[in-house]
Structure 1
């Protein structure tokens, strides 16, 4: 989703450093949010990383964006890697985007993606997102997104966002970071419990904190953290549905997704 308020801005240099992940014990149970799955408009599915995912398809344009989403823009290759694409359909002249939604719901634990792609230098109109989502907009969501949000000079391309649980009077909180990467392999993760959410981004594929370049923890209280078990989503789309300013197709490859429950 478009970010409108930056509550905390600060720069982090790219370095191999460690920060505490605030390991927590958590015996609380999450409840299930299924609105995201029920809102899907297609029966197209794929298998990736041991889970079944629904592929978003439409022809007239839908949010986010609005954009056209197609099965040709989200597929798994022979190596088992998930490809998300933005590409121009030469027949219709429309730009087509990729989005998948897990048909399972996940709760407290660590969510981790191994991503290949130029995420720090995406075209100004491109958005790449990894998040959980209940289907209730502006609530119950934890996002990792890379985008310039339509502003070419915006170098704060990494966005971590925590939306409050449904019914909470508390605001959404967000932090953004400037990112300069020397390669195209990164690890993106967040760990959620009933009392905290910790986001981390690393250069390369690692299960530890090697090459950590961004990290943020929010706790409850003072913030509101959803208790729902929710589907995971990944998408690659165009901000406001505006074509890439450079006119080029875009591709992100997700080598793996791993969930480790608490």
Structure 2
């Protein structure tokens, strides 16, 4: 690789970054549905034709922003779980991951809305968004599997009514349904992910205004309640143990 090739690659990477940053600003101002390559080009002082050499369509630019957002959310969750002390166990690490995702969303509300808000009319996400989009759910699944293998899950009081509620491909990716009494563990585990995204969305989009007095504490409570659906303790018991 020559020095001139390296310089061109660096210049292309820098302009690609600038294009994404300008597009992110436009998301905040006009929303994803109104994202325009021409507007991004004007913001950067470029001709539209120059921008098309980097992103051939609005959908290509949207896809790049979506992949970046999903990867950033996944990295936040993974870093949060990894930073939690090992004695916290899988439940404690999952709560740490949830808190990290919430913190990221509060700092990047428009990117969060891009991937978890209303679908963009006319946009069809390509398959290369799937792997980034499932980083958080794969982390959740790994922690649930660890908790189950370690005997840290309480069995449900009663099984969910059959038949199974998740698609076969989801069940296959989870390694199949565990044996009774945990046969509905995959269905129950989805409540963790749905509660995570839903609770953040309610806070982020103002639905908890004048309803909750302490959003961080409520978030922890919501995650704890969701985890109870699969018999997982997210928080350690108090030092004196449960009340008698």
TM bracket, shorter-chain basis:
under 0.3
Larger helix share, 1 or 2: 2
Larger strand share, 1 or 2: 1
Q: Which has the higher contact order (CA 8 A, sep 6+)?
A: 1
